[in-house]
Structure 1
Amino acid sequence: MFSTRSVNEVGVGPPNHIMLLDGWERMVNIQYMLRRLAHVSMDGNFTLVEPFVYESKVSLWRSAPEMFHKDKLRAQAASRYFRTADLYNTRHYMSYAQWQQRAHSACTHASFVHAVLFFTWSEQQWGGGNKSEEELPGPFWWCDSEMRKRMPGGSNRTLGVHQVTRSVHVGRALCASPRSVRNRAFFATLFHIARTRIRAPRRMGCARCVTVALGNYRKHVLEGYRTVFGDEPSRHRVPPLDLSDEAKRIASALIERHGKGGGFMALHMRTGKAYTLLAKNESHFEAWLAACTAALVGEARASHMAVYVASDLFNEGWRGGERASEGVQGALDAARRALAEASHFRLHATAEAAVRQDAMGMAAAVDAAVAVRAQRFVFGEPSSFGQWVRELRAQRGRHSLGVRCALRPTWRPPPPRAAAALKIT
C-alpha cells in the first residue's frame, strides 16, 4: 500500500487537512489509528497532520507544541515512537511544522483551524448552535458549546474565534455521530462545510487551505467505512508501523546489558483488557489471571533462555485496579510477583529510558522493540499489543506464540460473549 520513495522527494498533499486532538487510546491503538487514517486519507483526499502523543495518547490538552512548552515539556510527535516515513511517502501526511508553514502562508495572523469535529459517543445528542442557523448538509450540526467546554483556551471576541494558543485559532465546532462515517462522502461534506460555512476573520486572510480537527477521535470511528474500492480500513491489511530509531536504540542497550550475550525470550501479558471484559464477575477474572500467569511462567521456565517480561503490570498501563476489590488487587500483586521472578530483565522506563515525560508511552514502544528482536515471543491473549508485535515479527520471518489462557475447571465458564472475546477454550 505504501510507497517506498524517499521522504525528501515527497511533497505535501491536498490542501484539506485533518488534525488529531484527542485519541484516548493506548500506544498500540495510536499506530492502528495512524495507519488506518493514512489509508482513508488517500481515499478521502485529505492530508493527515502528524499528532503529538502524551502519556501514550493523543491529548486534547496537549495537541500543539505551544501547549507543551507552556508547561516546560518537550513536544513529542508520533515519530518519537514510530517510523513514520512510510506515512509521509503517501503524500497525504505532514508534520505539524509543515502544516503550520502552509497555514501561516495562507493566514497572515495565525494558524487557523476552521472547525473542530466532536463525535457523539453517547446516544444523547450534544450541544447545538444557534437555532436560527440554517441546517447543515449531511450528518452534521453546530455544537459550539462543546468547544467552549472541552477545549483549552477561550473566546477571542475581537477576532471572533476560539483562541487555543496565541498562534492557533479555531473557528467553530461541529458534531456528528460516529456511525455516519461510512465513506469518502463524509469527509467531502465535512470540508465543504468548513470551506463554505465557516469564514476566517478577514484580517487573518485564510483562503487556500482548510483544516478540521478531530476533537475526540476513537479507533471505532472507521468501523464500517468503505473506500471507493470497497475496502474496510479497520480490517484491511495495512502494514503495521515500525518502531522509531529511538525505541530501537533503547531496546538494543537493554538487550546488550541484560541479554547475557545469547538468545532470549520475550514474554507479554496484558491484564487490563481481560479485567474490562470480566469486570462484572471478579472471580472469573481472578481465575483467568491465575491460569494465564501460570501458563506464561511455565513457557518461560521451559525455554531455558533469558526472559524479558513486558506487561501493563509494570509500566502503569493497567487502569481499573485502583477501583477493584482487595481480592483482585491481591491477585494482581501475585501475578506481578510471579512474572518478576520468571524474568531476567525488563524495562524500568524512567531510569533506563531517561524519559522525563510520557514514560508509559515510551515503555510500550521499547517493550515492542525488545519483543521484536527476541528469539522467541510468547503472549497471552487477548492482546492487541501482542498482535502488533506478531505482525512486526512476521515481516522479519520470526514466529510468535499466542497462549490462549483458559479458566481453571473448578470455575464456572464466563458468559459466551466474554469467552469468545477472550478466546477461552
Structure 2
Amino acid sequence: MGGRGRSDATQSFAVGWLTLAVLLGCITAVGESLPVEQAAAPMVRAECSHGQCANEFIVLLDMWERLVNFRSGLIHMMYASMDAGFVVVAPFVHQTKVSRMFSLPHHFLERRMKVTPLDTYFDVDTVRHIVPVADFEDWAGRTKKFLRGNEWRVVSVVSALVKFGYSGITISNGTEPYAWCDDADVENDVGIRNRRGQIEHLDAGKYRALTKHVVYERIVCVDGRTVSGESITKEHFRKLFQFVRDGVSDPDMPITLAFGNYRKEAYVEYAYRTAKTLAPKFNSKNILSDSLGLSKLAYTQADRFIESKMGGSPAYIAVHFRAGKTMDRVQTSDFSGEYFKQWGEWCLRQLHEEVQKIQREHPDTNFSFYVATDLLNDGMRGGEAPRGLAIAAVLKALHENLFSYFPGAATLDSNTDLHDVGADTMGMASLTDLSMSVKATHFVSQLDSFSKMVGWERQRLNLSPSHIRGCAHSIQDARERRYDFPPARA
C-alpha cells in the first residue's frame, strides 16, 4: 500500500469503509485500485445494488435546480452515502427537475401522466456498480407497514421529513445542527398537500400523508449552512439517523429521511472530501460523475433524430446558444433591450467564428449543423421570460440571427421529433439536445451549465473536446449602458 503513495489517512479511510461494507454484506472483495476503464466491474453485489441490504435511506423530494445542477446535488449525496453507509433512493424527475409536486409516483398517476424515474434521464445502473442506489419500489418494499384504524391500507413509512434552514437562523438540539420541528408552520412549508389543498393525517394523527401510499411520522429541521461546511463527517449522519430512530414510534423499521428542500450546497464539502479520498481507489478524481452518464433513452432519441432528420450519420457540428439566463439577469436594468441585443449579437459572432475555425481545419468535410437553444421548445419555461415588448423583439431578432449564421441547421421540434416520452416533452427535449451535442463531431457553445454537462459526457466517452467561448455579460454594464465586449466586469 505504501508503494502507491497513499497517505495514512487515506489508507485508514479505505480500510474502514471496506470493513463497514463487508459487515453490511454489500461489497465484493476488490483490489485497492479500480481504473476508470474498469469502473463497470461491480464493486456492489447485485443483491445489494438496489439497497436491499440497507436499513437507512435518504429520499430526495425536492432539489430546486434543473438538470445539470440537480445531477451535481445527487452526486454529492451519493458520495456521502458511500462514506456514511446509508442508501440514496433514486428520485423522480419532471421537466428536468426534482420537485415536490412530482416527487412520488402518485403525483404523476393522479394527473394521468407517465412516471419518469431517474433512469429516464441518467444511466443509474452503471453507478450501481460503485454505490448502491435504491429504486422507489425497492425502498417501498423495505419500509411498508399496514395501517388499521380507518385506513386499512399498506403504506411505506418515511421516518422524518427533513427541512433545511438556509436563512441564517441557527438550528440545534444543543450539540448537533438539527432538531425536531413538528409544528404547523413547518408542516405547511414542507408538507405535500392533497388535491384539496390539505395535509392528510392518518392513524390517529401519528402519520401524515405524502401520498395515498407514502406517509411520514415526524419533521426534523437541519441547519443548511452548518452542514455545507468542512466539519461534517460520517458521524453527522450516524448521529442524525440515530436521533430520528430514537424519536419515532417504530425504531425497528428501516429509518428513512426525506429531504424536502435539499440543495446541492448542502454537504458539498463533505462530498468533495469523500471524492478526493476515494480518488486513488478508482484512479478518478470524480468516479460518480465519470459514471453517471446520460440515459440510454436520451441516446436513442438522438439516434432516431439523426436517422430521420439528418440522413443517417453525417459529420455535424452542434451549436448551443442560451439567451434566457443573460436576458433574465440584465433586463431589470436594460429596459430598452439594447445591452441584451448587443450581447447576443457578440456571442453569436463568437460561436460563428469558432465554427469557421473548425471548418478551416477540416476543409474536406462538409459539416451539417444541429442547433440547441432555449429559443425553441419552451426552453425558457423554467421562469425566464421577457419583460416587455422590447426584450421580446430582441429574442426574435436573435433567433433570426442564429439561423442566418448556421443556415439549414437541424433543430428539434419537441411536438413531432420525440418518441415515447409521455407528458415530459420539455425534459426530453433538453435531454435530446444534450445527447445530440454529445454525439456531434464537434460541439461549439458559450460557457454555461449545459456546455459543462456536454463536456463531461464527451470526456467520459473519449470524444473530441468542446469548443467553448465565454460570452460573459455584466449587470453593471447593462445598468450603465456600456456596450464593450467582452465586459471588463463580468
TM-score, normalization by structure 1: 0.85
Report the CA distance between 1:315 and its aligned residue. 2.9
Shift of 1:58: 0.7
User: Which residue of 177, 180, 190 maps to 2:226?
Assistant: 180
Find out whether 1:332 has 2:395 as its counterpart: yes
In structure 1, distance between residues paired with 2:471 and 2:329: 14
Q: Which residue of 1 aligns with 2:161?
A: 116
CA distance in 1 between partners of 2:307 and 2:54 (Å) = 45
**In structure 1, what is the equivalent of residue 286 of structure 2?**
237
- From 156, 164, 168, the equivalent of 2:210 is 164
Give the 3-state SS of the residue equivalent to 2:166 in structure 1: coil
Q: Counterpart of 2:449?
A: 384
Moved more, 298-307 or 366-375: 298-307
* 8 Å Cα contact 1:52/1:62 also seen in 2: yes
AA matched with 2:399: R
Letter in 1 for 2:262: Y
CA distance change for structure 1 residues 10 and 177 in 2, over 3 Å: closer, same or farther?
A: same
What residue is the counterpart of 2:258 in the other structure? 213
Following the alignment from structure 1 to structure 2, what is the Cα–Cα distance between the partners of residues 414 and 301? 20
Amino acid at match of 2:348: T
> Where in structure 1 are there 5+ consecutive unaligned residues?
127-133, 201-205, 420-425
Query: Which AA in structure 2 matches 1:294?
Result: R
CA distance in 1 between counterparts of 2:308 and 2:135 reads 35
Contact residue 179 and residue 222 of structure 2 kept, 8 A:
yes
- SS of the residue 2:269 aligns to: coil
Note the C-alpha offset of 1:363.
1.2
Range that drifts further, 326-335 or 336-345 = 336-345
Aligned alpha-carbon RMSD (Å): 3.1
**Contact 1:116–1:147 (CA<8 Å) still a contact in 2?**
no
- Alpha-carbon separation, structure 1, partners of 2:119 and 2:368: 31
Equivalent pair of 1:43/1:228 in contact (CA under 8 Å):
no
Q: Measured at CA, do residues 405 and 360 of structure 1 come closer, stay the same or move farther in structure 2, by a change above 3 Å?
A: same
> 2:317: which partner in 1?
265
**Per-residue deviation, residues 197-230 of structure 1 (Å, max 9, x unmatched):** 1224xxxxx6231000010112222333356658
1:311 to 373, 381, 387: 373
Q: Conserved in 2, the CA contact under 8 Å of 1:106 and 1:208?
A: no
Is residue 424 of structure 2 the alignment partner of residue 358 of structure 1? Answer: yes
**Equivalent-residue separation in structure 2 for 1:347 and 1:100 (angstroms):** 37
Q: CA deviation at 1:98?
A: 0.7
1:68-217 equivalences in 2 (<5 Å): 68-104=108-144, 109-123=154-168, 135=173, 137-144=175-182, 145=184, 146-150=186-190, 151-152=192-193, 153-156=199-202, 158-181=204-227, 182=229, 183=232, 184-200=234-250, 207-217=252-262
Moved more, 351-360 or 91-100: 351-360
Using the TM superposition, give the Cα deviation of residue 247 of structure 1 relative to its aligned residue in structure 2, in angstroms: 1.1
Which has the higher mean CA deviation after the structures are superposed, 353-362 or 317-326? Answer: 317-326
Report the alpha carbon displacement of residue 156 of structure 1 after superposing the two structures with TM.
2.1
- C-alpha separation between the residues in 2 aligned to 1:299 and 1:135? 56
Residue 4 in structure 1 maps to residue 40 in structure 2: yes
Change (3 A) 1:376 1:98: same
CA 1:91–1:320: 2 relative to 1, 3 Å? closer
Which SS does the other structure have where 1:356 is aligned? coil
Paired residues, number: 404
Residue type at the aligned position of 2:323: T
Q: Secondary structure of the equivalent of 1:368?
A: helix
In the other structure, the counterpart of 2:349 is 294
Deviates more, 1:363-372 or 1:310-319: 310-319
Q: 1:229 to 1:84 in 2, by over 3 A?
A: closer
Judge which range, 253-262 or 80-89, deviates more.
253-262
Amino acid at match of 2:368: A
TM-score, normalization: structure 2?
0.74
Is 1:367 paired with 2:403? no
SS at match of 1:54: coil
Distance across 2 between alignment mates of 1:221 and 1:101: 28
Change in 2 beyond 3 A, CA 1:255/1:163: same
Q: 1:372 to 1:207 in 2, by over 3 A?
A: same
Distance 1:402 1:9 in 2: 40
Q: Which runs of no fewer than 5 residues in structure 2 stay unpaired?
A: 1-33, 148-152, 194-198, 279-283, 360-365
Segment drifting more, 371-380 vs 283-292: 283-292
Q: Secondary structure at the match of 1:114?
A: strand
Does residue 347 of the first structure (1) align with residue 441 of the second (2)?
no
After TM superposition, the structure 1 stretch with the greater mean CA deviation from structure 2, 345-354 or 362-371, is 345-354
> In the superposition, relative to structure 1, how do residues 230 and 61 fare at CA in structure 2: closer, same or farther (>3 Å)?
closer
Aligned equivalents of 2:486, 2:368: Cα separation in 1: 35
Cα deviation digits, residues 125-168 of structure 1 (max 9, x gap) = 79xxxxxxx94641113333322343224222515111122221
Percent identical residues: 26
**1:46 aligned onto 2:46:** no
Select between 364-373 and 297-306 the one with higher mean Cα deviation.
297-306
* 1:199 to 1:380, Cα distance in 2 relative to 1, 3 A: same
Is the contact made by 2:301 and 2:432 (CA closer than 8 Å) also made in structure 1? yes
